[in-house]
Amino acid sequence: MFNLFRKKEPSLKVIDKIWMTETAKFQSIADEWKKDNSIHFIFWFDDTLQRASDFLAAQNTAPHTFFTAREISNHSGSKIIFAEHNPLQQKEKDLFEKLNLEEVTVWSSLDEPLFKHFGGDKIVGMMKQLGMKESESVEHKMISKSIVSAQEKIADKVQFEQSARSQKEWLEKNLPV
């Protein structure tokens, strides 16, 4: 009657696509860029953006539209793909709301420091045993929920956030050992 005990559905839909390696993710970025060069790829960390830029430059791919999250203030209707997660879910939510997004796609790889922190290496082994190719991505609601859960665990441990150029540096600076 009043839906007091019903879980509220999130108003924002996050679609996670996960590759085994960063190289496979960057190749998918290059392939997607070739199909639609109006896509804006957004990175949370300068270091990841630089590696992606270097990867595309090595492939002689035309100039691309990469931004850091702090540079983007609106998306003027362009399709956006986030090329990594921020370790803090609240920072992601704040930017998604600021950009007025209803659906967000995030591309990640299991060899990123965030996933390594939560045993991504074990998942890679399992994916290989199942016969998956490095170029294939995995996408499922359960994965997205697991990422949110990992971000919540990180947020519980962070007392004062220090900025960083890379995901690895962020984890080193912000998580107690």
Domain containing 128 equals: 13-174
3-state class (DSSP) for residue 176: coil
Q: Which residues lie closer than 8 Å to 20 by C-beta, 6 or more apart?
A: 109, 110, 111, 124, 127, 128, 132, 134
CA torsion sign for 100, 138, 44, 40 is negative
Please count the structural domains in the chain.
Answer: 1
Is residue 114 one of the residues assigned to a domain?
A: yes
Is residue 55 one of the residues assigned to a domain?
A: yes
120 φ, ψ to 5°?
A: -60, -30
CA 101 to CA 131: how far, in whole Å? 35
Is residue 97 one of the residues assigned to a domain?
A: yes
Is residue 147 one of the residues assigned to a domain?
A: yes
Least confident span in 3-7, 34-38, 51-55, 63-67 = 3-7
Query: Which CATH number covers residue 135?
Result: 3.40.50.300
Is residue 7 one of the residues assigned to a domain?
A: no
Inform me whether the pLDDT recorded for 8 exceeds 60. no
Higher pLDDT, 51 or 34: 51
Is residue 170 one of the residues assigned to a domain?
A: yes
pLDDT in tens, 75-126: 677 889 999 999 999 999 999 999 988 899 999 998 998 888 777 667 777 7
- The pTM assigned to this predicted structure is 0.86
pLDDT at 33: 86
pLDDT in tens, 123-165: 777 777 888 888 899 888 888 888 898 899 999 999 899 999 9
Is residue 58 one of the residues assigned to a domain?
A: yes
Is residue 6 one of the residues assigned to a domain?
A: no
